[in-house]
């Protein structure tokens, strides 16, 4: 019977299936960070269990780490100190591979996994973080799990869940100038809604997807969770193999040849049936920006802030009214006239070297607008090092951006990089929920180039004008 990419990877990992449809599936790889793991390790100790396969995991700090240059000697938040301490102790006591904060490889787990060759096609990868869907860009079945599930994976290298339905999102055609995979992701979420992918594993297909680099595919798969699906995937191809080859943890020699031969089989069969199919014309996608407090609340930058009356559904009207009140926006205001106070370029969505190059190309020779605070936070120490070797850091600093150390930073208010109440940020992160970047903070999701354009103009800006 014809199979989808998801079917092929899932079927290869089923250990046992129960009559009710629950399956025990084998987990190949497990990324561990400081926020979601302490209780899991404690649960193991209380049950007198060991980590079953420590070398199948890779741990590093990312959420709580400061991004300032003195972070190795100064962390003010006691809870962050405690979580970071537990991560060190737990990994050392179990012989789990650990990348410490002082290591140049340290960074956001979803950046470092692919960067180190830990993320591989055809594997199942989990992490205690919802944006684990990022890794699907390499043909990996990847999804986030909760604390009790982390404990179970550590103890057994297995996970229990039901098989998902499948959705194909087909994006055909060529993207226009200034349009990126971040805009593609926002377009998909606006099209199907934040619950549109619930219960599904999404496979992204089409010529526009195939034309993307692996880094751009990762940005798109990263935001799959914002469309309601836990998993987003792109079938591996020559672009994938070229990205992985030679990375520290990737197969070598004859093992590489064997791996590639298998990876080439990981694509949906031509006659495979999906439970649902969504088609999008790439040529019609414009640079997008969110206006509300949900990732589905996005429009082309050329549009205006909508009014509650623009929506037929009464519940949606109420949600829009609440969002506009929180965001401090007036219906009818052109999005390109919305002034911002902050810019954040970073997060597991958009902090890779291609993202920094795109932002730097806009910032070069310009200055951050008066009254705007702009941060650039590379996704890993290796990305930071490469950016500096290319002179990107100098471009940003000359323009007035702050150049920081790697970490999750302002994506989530769990470290010192937070917005103050009422501040408005053009952000390359993945969520614009109420309070996501700080209490009563206002977030507009954009691509890296759009964020840089907003920084130099002092307002949301159509990057195509620059």
Give per-residue pLDDT as tens, 2-57: 999 999 999 999 999 999 999 999 999 999 999 999 999 999 999 999 999 999 99
Query: Strand pairing of 57-59 and 141-144?
Result: unpaired
Alpha-carbon distance 461 to 4, whole Å? 40
User: Which DSSP string corresponds to 325-371?
Assistant: HHHT--TT-BGGG-B-SEEEE-TTTS-SHHHHHHHHHHHTT--PPTT
* CA dist list (Å): 344 to 54, 79, 362: 35, 24, 15
**301, 335 in Cβ contact below 8 A?**
yes
Where b means 16+ CB within 10 Å and e means fewer, 130-149 reads: bbbbbbbbbbbbbbbbebeb
What is the C-alpha radius of gyration for the chain, rounded to an integer number of angstroms? Answer: 21
Q: What is the dihedral of CA 39, 41, 46, 48, to 10 degrees?
A: 160
H/E run at residue 219: helix 214-222
Nearest to 392 by CA among 425, 347, 358, 344: 358
Q: For the domain bounded by 5-164+237-261, which CATH number is listed?
A: 3.30.499.10
Written as six digits, the tokens of 413 are: 């208010």
| pLDDT of res. 194 | 96
Domain ranges of the chain: 5-164+237-261, 169-231+268-284, 290-465
3-class secondary structure, 137: helix
| pLDDT of res. 28 | 98
Residue 48 backbone dihedrals phi, psi, to 5 degrees: 60, 45
Q: What is the mean pLDDT of each run of 10 residues along the chain (466 residues)?
A: 97 98 98 95 97 97 94 89 95 96 97 98 98 98 97 98 98 98 98 97 98 98 98 98 98 98 98 98 98 98 98 95 98 98 98 98 98 98 98 98 97 92 98 97 98 98 96
Written as six digits, the tokens of 4 are: 């989808």
The β-bridge partners of 444 are 426
Nearest to 343 by CA among 452, 182, 457: 452
Calculate the CA 429 to chain-centre distance: 8
**324, 297 in Cβ contact below 8 A?**
no
- Per this entry, what is the length of the chain? 466
Give per-residue pLDDT as tens, 416-431: 999 999 999 999 999 9
CATH of 290-465, picked from 1.10.3720.10, 3.90.1150.10, 3.30.470.20, 3.30.499.10, is 3.30.499.10
| pLDDT of res. 163 | 98
**Fold identical between 5-164+237-261 and 290-465?**
yes
Q: Going by C-beta distance under 8 Å and a sequence separation of 6 or more, which residues neighbour residue 257?
A: none
| pLDDT of res. 414 | 87
The β-bridge partners of 181 are none
Question: What pTM was computed for the model?
Answer: 0.97
Whether the CA torsion 284, 335, 225, 451 is positive or negative: it is positive
Q: Going by C-beta distance under 8 Å and a sequence separation of 6 or more, which residues neighbour residue 359?
A: 345, 376, 396, 448, 449, 451, 452
| pLDDT of res. 413 | 84
Query: Strand pairing of 22-26 and 158-162?
Result: antiparallel
Written as six digits, the tokens of 125 are: 């990868």
DSSP summary character for residue 23: E
Nearest to 436 by CA among 226, 155, 167, 169: 226
Class of CATH domain 169-231+268-284: alpha beta
Where b means 16+ CB within 10 Å and e means fewer, 222-232 reads: bbbbbbbbbbb
DSSP summary character for residue 435: T
Alpha-carbon distance 426 to 461, whole Å? 10
Query: Strand pairing of 298-300 and 342-345?
Result: unpaired
Where b means 16+ CB within 10 Å and e means fewer, 35-47 reads: bbbbebbebbeee
DSSP summary character for residue 149: H
């Amino acid at each position: 019977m014809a199979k989808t990419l998801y079917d092929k990877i899932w079927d290869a990992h089923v250990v046992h299936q129960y009559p009710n449809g629950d399956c025990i599936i084998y987990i190949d790889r497990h990324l561990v960070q400081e926020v979601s793991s302490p209780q899991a390790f404690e649960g193991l100790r209380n049950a007198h269990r060991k980590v079953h396969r420590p070398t199948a995991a890779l741990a590093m700090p990312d959420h709580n780490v400061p991004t300032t240059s003195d972070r190795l000697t100064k962390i003010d938040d006691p809870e962050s100190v405690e979580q970071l301490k537990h991560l060190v102790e737990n990994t050392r006591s179990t012989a789990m591979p650990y990348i410490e904060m002082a290591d140049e490889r340290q960074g956001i787990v979803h950046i470092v996994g692919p960067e180190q060759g830990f993320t591989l096609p055809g594997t199942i990868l989990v992490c205690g973080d919802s944006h684990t869907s990022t890794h699907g860009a390499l043909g990996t079945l990847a999804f986030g799990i909760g604390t009790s599930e982390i404990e179970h994976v550590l103890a057994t290298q297995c996970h229990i869940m039901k098989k998902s339905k499948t959705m194909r999102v087909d994006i055909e055609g060529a993207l226009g100038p200034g349009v990126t995979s971040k805009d593609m992701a926002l377009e998909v979420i606006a099209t199907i809604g934040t619950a549109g992918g619930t219960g599904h594993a999404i496979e992204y297909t089409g010529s526009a997807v195939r034309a993307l680099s692996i880094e751009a595919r990762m940005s798109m798969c990263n935001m799959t969770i914002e469309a309601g699906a836990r998993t987003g995937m792109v079938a591996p191809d020559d672009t994938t193999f070229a990205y992985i080859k030679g990375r520290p943890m990737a197969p070598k020699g004859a093992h590489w040849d064997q791996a590639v031969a298998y990876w080439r089989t990981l694509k949906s069969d031509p006659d495979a049936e999906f439970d649902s199919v969504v088609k999008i014309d790439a040529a019609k996608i414009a640079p997008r920006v969110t206006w509300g407090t949900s990732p589905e609340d996005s429009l082309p930058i050329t549009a205006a802030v909508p009014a509650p009356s623009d929506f037929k559904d009464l519940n949606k009207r109420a949600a829009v009214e609440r969002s506009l009140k929180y965001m401090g926006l007036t219906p009818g205001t052109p999005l390109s006239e919305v002034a911002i106070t902050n810019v954040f370029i970073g997060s597991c969505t958009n902090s890779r070297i291609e993202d920094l190059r795109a932002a730097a190309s806009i910032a070069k020779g310009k200055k951050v607008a008066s009254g705007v605070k702009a941060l650039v936070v590379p996704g890993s120490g290796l990305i930071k090092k490469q950016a500096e070797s290319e002179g990107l850091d100098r471009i940003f600093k000359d323009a007035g951006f702050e150049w920081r150390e790697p970490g999750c930073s302002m994506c989530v208010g769990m470290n010192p990089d937070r917005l103050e109440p009422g501040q408005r940020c053009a952000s390359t992160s993945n969520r614009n929920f109420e309070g996501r970047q700080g209490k009563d903070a206002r977030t507009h999701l954009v691509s890296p180039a759009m964020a840089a354009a907003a920084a130099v103009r002092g307002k949301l800006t159509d990057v195509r004008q620059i």
